Amino acid sequence: MRPPQPNKENKVEPLAEEKLAHITPHHLAALSLCRGAEALERAASDHTTWFFVILDLHRALHCALIAALSGTAGIGAYPEKEQAKWYEYFNKLDEPAAKEPKSDYLPYFRELLSMAKNGSPHMLDSPLQLTPEQDADIAMLNQFRGNLEHVKPGFWFLEVSGMPRICNTVAGTFATLLESFGHRLDEGDLEQVQAAISTLKQTRCSTSQQFRTQ
């Protein structure tokens, strides 16, 4: 975000609303999923595209977990200790001395996933249920993302023949989490997300052999 710019009189002018970009976890989840799905066709001819698909799908799932866990109060993705601070603040809103909690710490991806699987009163849907194979797929996606975001010298091989299965797992997991935050998306965004989920699920059937490398 660009800071306010001084004018000729050295006065700081506030940024106009139309110059500001804003995003929320549920919108970022939707945009990332759609961008990852749109890149699949290009990945068929350029395998390096998969590295960017990995980042998009991981971000989509990460944001979807936060959006689903947050709930109507917006605090369900925080650790229990931080949630307690928020509840205390909410109960003292009428008091002049009430101070909003400053900590914005969130658990790491795997812990957020565990929270969703264990269930939360903040989630609008039932606990996330994953098979051992699906859990392994998501763990692999998380590992891939870590390798890409924390770059080290050298090179890295990706066996792309397994990526369509991971895409299918992400699609199914995202669809389940969407039940808890889909109401926050407008109709047009929701239609695009549903189309992206369908595309990712079809990848398993139509391209699992096409992406095999030697």
pLDDT in tens, 44-91: 889 999 999 999 999 999 999 999 999 988 899 998 899 898 888 888
Residue 67 lies in a domain: yes
pTM of the predicted model over 0.85: no
Residue 94 lies in a domain: no
Residue 157 lies in a domain: yes
More confident residue, 194 or 86: 194
Residue 97 lies in a domain: no
For 180, the domain range is 5-75+107-207
| Percent over 90 (pLDDT), the chain | 58
Residue 101 lies in a domain: no
Determine the average pLDDT of the residues in 13-22.
70
Tell me the angle at which helices 49-70 and 163-181 cross, rounded to the nearest 10 degrees.
Answer: 20
**Do 193 and 160 contact (CB within 8 A), yes or no?**
no
Residue 80 lies in a domain: no
Query: Residue 13's beta-bridge partner residues?
Result: 5
What are phi and psi for residue 47, nearest 5 degrees? -65, -25
Q: Is 10 left (phi over 0), alpha (psi -120 to 50) or beta?
A: left
Residue 86 lies in a domain: no
The 10s digit of each residue's pLDDT in 153-173 is 888 888 888 899 999 999 999
Residue 112 has pLDDT above 50, yes or no: yes
Residue 207 to residues 16, 44, 45, 136, 181, Cα–Cα distance (Å): 47, 8, 11, 21, 30
- Tell me the H-state helices in 105-212: 109-118, 132-149, 163-181, 187-207
CA–CA gap between residue 212 and residue 214 (Å, rounded): 7
CA–CA gap between residue 33 and residue 63 (Å, rounded): 10
Q: Write down the residue that tokens 């709930």 correspond to.
A: 71
Q: How many domains does the chain have?
A: 1
Residue 149 lies in a domain: yes
pLDDT tier at 192, thresholds 50, 70, 90? very high
